[in-house]
Structure 1
Amino acid sequence: MISTNDFKTGLTIEFEGDVYQVIEFQHVKPGKGSAFVRSKLKNMRTGAVVDKTFNAGEKIPKAHVDRREVQYLYNDGANYYFMDMETYDQFEMTKEQLGDAVKYLKDNMIITNLLFKGQSIGVDLPNFVELEVVETSPGIKGDTASGGSKPATLETGMVVNVPFFINVGDVLQIDTRTGHYIKRV
């Protein structure tokens, strides 16, 4: 059990029969009444974010989430297949379980699998991935890095806005937290 006074960003808790991660929290001490903790919690299974207010000092079970390195192998259209890097066991996850992570997965990519009570609840991606541009309109001579943007389709099918000087075949660094273009590699 953990007290709501000990909340910190990234902490995982069991709440209402599911696993949640603390995204934001704020301790509030009003002039009248008792103190409370206002928080934003992200459901680790579904990705949904909920606002929840707890009484200060309230006890909540801490969720123990195991993290294991896995390698992304391939997908067959419906399922995505991974291999545990320690045991070499292969397992599959659905598109719904992975959520937005499918936009960043490349063959043989190493990511972190999140396990709760032996069941996979999602994946943690690196903060940045490098993806190749497979389709974009050609740049026009004289375009600079500071002016405007155009859409570019990456090797995973994801579409991002990039500066005009980016061409087909360029490898880009993409931020997996925001989905934005960072730089050309």
Structure 2
Amino acid sequence: MGSATDLKKGAVVKYNGENCVVIETQHIKPGKGGAFFQTKMRNIRTGKVVENRFRSEETVEFVRVDRRSYQYLYKDGNDLMFMDVNTFEQIGIPDTSLGEEICFLKENEIAQLAFEGEIVLSVDVPLHVNLRVIQTEPGFRGDTATNVTKPATLETGAEIGVPLFINEGDLIRVDTREASYIERVKE
């Protein structure tokens, strides 16, 4: 058991009898009334996203998790195959039970898997990854308006907005939490 003030992204809590991963949390202090935490959580079993408000003084049941490093190998149908970096044991995880940030994971990348016993609760990808742009429209000389972005498809199939000066073949750093462009990477 813990307090609602301990809620943060990636925490696993028991909510309505189900294990849920906190996707997003925001502390809100309205002008009238008590402060509360607005949270978005993904049900681990069903994959559905639910929203809930926890009062600051409310108690929350946290699930004890064990985090281990696994290497992402490949996609097999609807399963993503991972290998334990210590024991070389392979496991398959249904892609429906994983979050949005999984689309930024390249083959052979290391990710943190959260376990409760032998059940995989979540997959935490690195906060920043370097990916190659495989398709985007060319930027034109003179397009100098600030904060203008264009859509780009990355090597993993993910789509994000990038600045106009980014071209096909460029290597960029991506923030996996926000699904946003950070910078161009020099090779």
Q: Which range, TM-score by smaller chain? A: 0.7 to 0.9
Other structure's SS at 1:101 match: helix
User: What letter matches 2:135 in structure 1?
Assistant: E
Cα shift at 1:170 = 0.5
Instruction: Count the aligned residue pairs.
Output: 179
User: What letter matches 1:52 in structure 2?
Assistant: R
Other structure's SS at 1:20 match: strand
Matches of 1:105 and 1:137 in 2, distance apart? 24
The ranges of structure 1 where at least 4 consecutive aligned residues each deviate by more than 4 angstroms after the TM superposition are 25-28, 35-39, 142-145
Cα shift at 1:140 = 2.5
Other structure's SS at 1:138 match: coil
Quote the sequence identity (%). Answer: 35
Change (3 A) 1:146 1:157: same
Q: TM-score, normalised by structure 2?
A: 0.79
Tell me what 1:67 maps to: 67
Matches of 1:150 and 1:5 in 2, distance apart? 39
Query: Unaligned stretches of 5+ in structure 1?
Result: none
Contact 2:67 2:114 in 1 (8 A): yes
Tell me what 1:81 maps to: 81
Please say which of residues 137-146 and 109-118 is displaced more in the overlay: 137-146
Other structure's SS at 1:102 match: helix
Residue by residue, what CA displacement relative to the aligned partner does 1:6-37 show, whole Å, maximum 9, x if unpaired? Answer: 63435543232222356245689x88xxx785
User: What letter matches 1:51 in structure 2?
Assistant: N
User: What letter matches 1:156 in structure 2?
Assistant: T
Please say which of residues 106-115 and 155-164 is displaced more in the overlay: 155-164
Cα shift at 1:163 = 1.7
Cα shift at 1:122 = 1.7
User: What letter matches 1:90 in structure 2?
Assistant: Q
Tell me what 1:52 maps to: 53
Cα shift at 1:147 = 6.2
Q: Residues 83-98 of structure 1 correspond to what in structure 2 (within 5 A)?
A: 83-98=83-98
Q: Residues 27-176 of structure 1 correspond to what in structure 2 (within 5 A)?
A: 38-40=37-39, 42-43=41-42, 45=44, 46=47, 48-53=49-54, 56=57, 59-144=59-144, 146=146, 148-176=148-176
Please say which of residues 63-72 and 35-44 is displaced more in the overlay: 35-44
Matches of 1:21 and 1:78 in 2, distance apart? 21
